Chains A and B, each alone.
Chain A
């Protein structure tokens, strides 16, 4: 049973991703859809950081580093940082779009702003 604890971060990733996708598919309010996207991004970032974990590893920093056999992988942390920055920019842009849509149509209900069909 203790051996299965290594899977705990990945189970959390799966749960967060499912909640995020569920919010994106089944909610009608645009803001809630964007919240679902934020949850999905958080799940992917958690997956990337959890991939780099090494057992009893310390943070990959040399300044005043304690004695330890190994460090966790720093490359995946760079990937995660880039992904977080891209996520910030994307969410800011999509929230601005939502504000403009609210100003033009007076509603953020996704069923009522669908003017492009066919």
Chain B
């Protein structure tokens, strides 16, 4: 139990490294190994999150004699090893990644079973999962960069998996190029910070940071690539290409990796630079708010024009990321103002963070249903699809659940987080809340159009033999749908036990530093 953070990363890595040997034993052996490893990884993730939510921040020091010993005795009070610091926000992201990866693996056991090169596919899938887990648990800035690169590279390789058509490879190349330039920019910022303060640990850097000119440069070089990786608007151009041409299960997991970059953005702004930004919280809060509003608006207006169903969903992913940036941006803007923070700032941040969980679930469900339709009909063009409601009833139900959730309709989880955001942002600035509601209405309109053109109408002749998809894909989609319905009907336990500790972990910045460096 003490080694859970190490197992969190070591289990998917072990599964990925063993995959080529087991793949030689045949397809059944490989499917069994994938299933076993995926269940093991998700179990480790959920156990670790349970431990963090009940007992507090978990520290793990790699290479030490005892796993919790952050300050070696002869180092003079400086943490010198790579430390995984899993606090409540990290635990929330670990829960999201565990649930998504389990659903995605169950789905892709069948959906990609007819392609060749499956050894590579599943190895890359487990590397992507390991990268996401590492990115959200680590307390060391350079380790974050390494896991970010692992995630980007395996994500790009998986986006380009279908090499029989050239478009997937073009999208993979764009994604890899942009990710690499962004990661190099983060590396320069890490070099600048190390050169000044001789520390790579986030807690130690936060304790030593003074806001010199070089630190401001490093902040800019850190924020912009992370905002690009999560798909915020001026830098979102890779999102539609990569999400639409990847295999659908991979797209659901790429959404989670974008949320992990969003986690990185929040960690940098709140825990690393939180104390030194004391006089500029309002400025940076408004920066996040403007990014959020632009993303919401541009995402949904570009989505209405699309004919490719996965490209449409990708633009909606950009739009929903705007909600998360808006909620946490309002929280950041009022971080200095005690009454406003307690009145509506914490609620706004809770709405933003809850929206990360909800979005991963219902967006994953929507992408998996789009993949199910592609699996049976072979096309993603809305002009050509039609009348599938008669032959694919379960897929239609799952799509309806996902579409109502993304539009924010009451019994589903989108409504719970969007209501929190509307309420609190209205008290900050009513104009922003009205924009958010308009975007919600446009989202509903766009998904009504998609539902009508895909499932309603008379059955078309060329899709007459499209039956329902196999059981394993239905179980994967059903898992996510059940979570969407449950978090929608009973949001209060989730908010009290998972979201509020995460908000406290961001707002009370000194807890992060005290956990490693000892009481101060």
The answer on a CB contact under 8 Å between B194 and A83 is: no
Task: For residue A101, give the distance in angstroms from its CB to the closest CB of chain B.
Answer: 6
Q: For the complex, what is the distance from the CA of A114 to the CA of B174, rounded to whole Å?
A: 10
Determine if A15 is an interface residue (Cβ-Cβ < 8 Å). no
Contacts of A82 in B (CB 8 A): 142, 146
Q: Fill in one digit per residue for B360-403: 1 if any A CB lies within 8 Å of its CB, else 0.
A: 00000000000000000000000000000000000000000000
Q: Which residue of the partner chain, among A41, A89, A98, contacts B173 with CB atoms under 8 Å?
A: A98
Determine if A115 is an interface residue (Cβ-Cβ < 8 Å). yes
Residue on A with the closest CB to B80?
A75
The answer on a CB contact under 8 Å between B184 and A115 is: no
Determine if A105 is an interface residue (Cβ-Cβ < 8 Å). yes
Contacts of A75 in B (CB 8 A): 194, 200
Task: For residue B395, give the distance in angstroms from its CB to the closest CB of chain A.
Answer: 26
Q: Which residue of the partner chain, among A83, A86, A100, contacts B166 with CB atoms under 8 Å?
A: A100
Chain B, interface size category, equals 35 or more
Known: A37-B181, A93-B157. A113 touches B170 (CB 8 A): yes
Task: For residue A57, give the distance in angstroms from its CB to the closest CB of chain B.
Answer: 15
Determine if A104 is an interface residue (Cβ-Cβ < 8 Å). yes
Q: For the complex, what is the distance from the CA of A90 to the CA of B245, rounded to whole Å?
A: 20
Determine if B190 is an interface residue (Cβ-Cβ < 8 Å). yes
Contacts of B146 in A (CB 8 A): 82, 86
The answer on a CB contact under 8 Å between A76 and B173 is: no
Known: A48-B187, A79-B191. A93 touches B166 (CB 8 A): no
Determine if B176 is an interface residue (Cβ-Cβ < 8 Å). yes
Known: A79-B191, A86-B146, A93-B157. A116 touches B184 (CB 8 A): no
Task: For residue B194, give the distance in angstroms from its CB to the closest CB of chain A.
Answer: 7
Contacts of B188 in A (CB 8 A): 44, 47
The answer on a CB contact under 8 Å between A93 and B195 is: no
Which of chain A's residues 95-114 have a Cβ closer than 8 Å to chain B?
Answer: 97-98, 100-101, 104-105, 113-114
Known: A93-B156, A113-B166. A83 touches B173 (CB 8 A): no
Which of chain B's residues 148-163 have a Cβ closer than 8 Å to chain A?
Answer: 149, 153, 156-157, 160, 163
Q: Which residue of the partner chain, among A51, A89, A104, A118, contacts B191 with CB atoms under 8 Å?
A: A51
The answer on a CB contact under 8 Å between A83 and B195 is: no
The answer on a CB contact under 8 Å between A97 and B180 is: no
The answer on a CB contact under 8 Å between B194 and A37 is: no
Contacts of A59 in B (CB 8 A): none
The answer on a CB contact under 8 Å between A47 and B173 is: no
Determine if B177 is an interface residue (Cβ-Cβ < 8 Å). yes
Determine if A35 is an interface residue (Cβ-Cβ < 8 Å). no
The answer on a CB contact under 8 Å between A104 and B166 is: yes
Known: A44-B188, A79-B190, A86-B149. A100 touches B163 (CB 8 A): yes
Q: For the complex, what is the distance from the CA of A90 to the CA of B153, rounded to whole Å?
A: 7
Determine if B269 is an interface residue (Cβ-Cβ < 8 Å). no
Q: For the complex, what is the distance from the CA of A100 to the CA of B168, rounded to whole Å?
A: 11
Known: A79-B191, A116-B167. A94 touches B305 (CB 8 A): no
Contacts of A16 in B (CB 8 A): none
Q: For the complex, what is the distance from the CA of A115 to the CA of B241, rounded to whole Å?
A: 10
Contacts of B171 in A (CB 8 A): 116
The answer on a CB contact under 8 Å between B167 and A115 is: yes
Q: For the complex, what is the distance from the CA of A98 to the CA of B200, rounded to whole Å?
A: 36
Q: Which residue of the partner chain, among B156, B165, B184, contacts A44 with CB atoms under 8 Å?
A: B184
The answer on a CB contact under 8 Å between A89 and B153 is: yes
Known: A76-B194, A90-B153. A83 touches B187 (CB 8 A): yes
Q: For the complex, what is the distance from the CA of A57 to the CA of B177, rounded to whole Å?
A: 37
Determine if B169 is an interface residue (Cβ-Cβ < 8 Å). yes
Residue on A with the closest CB to B156?
A93
Q: For the complex, what is the distance from the CA of A52 to the CA of B194, rounded to whole Å?
A: 9
Task: For residue B123, give the distance in angstroms from its CB to the closest CB of chain A.
Answer: 14
Determine if B306 is an interface residue (Cβ-Cβ < 8 Å). yes
Which of chain B's residues 296-323 have a Cβ closer than 8 Å to chain A?
Answer: 305-306, 311
Task: For residue A14, give the distance in angstroms from its CB to the closest CB of chain B.
Answer: 11
The answer on a CB contact under 8 Å between B184 and A41 is: yes
Q: For the complex, what is the distance from the CA of A51 to the CA of B198, rounded to whole Å?
A: 11
Q: For the complex, what is the distance from the CA of A113 to the CA of B166, rounded to whole Å?
A: 9
Determine if B172 is an interface residue (Cβ-Cβ < 8 Å). yes
Q: Which residue of the partner chain, among B170, B177, B187, contacts A101 with CB atoms under 8 Å?
A: B170
CB within 8 Å of B: which residues of A?
24, 30, 33, 37, 40-41, 44, 47-48, 51-52, 75-76, 79, 82-83, 86, 89-90, 93-94, 97-98, 100-101, 104-105, 113-116, 118
Instruction: Sample 7 A-B pairs with CB under 8 A, ordered by A number.
Output: A40-B184, A41-B180, A51-B191, A79-B142, A94-B176, A101-B166, A118-B311
CB within 8 Å of A: which residues of B?
142, 146, 149, 153, 156-157, 160, 163, 165-167, 169-173, 176-177, 180-181, 183-184, 187-188, 190-191, 194-195, 200, 240-241, 244-245, 305-306, 311
List 20 additional contacts besides A86-B149, A93-B153, A116-B167; criterion CB under 8 Å.
A24-B177, A24-B181, A30-B173, A44-B184, A48-B187, A52-B195, A76-B191, A76-B195, A79-B191, A79-B194, A82-B142, A89-B153, A90-B153, A94-B176, A100-B163, A104-B166, A116-B170, A116-B240, A116-B241, A118-B306
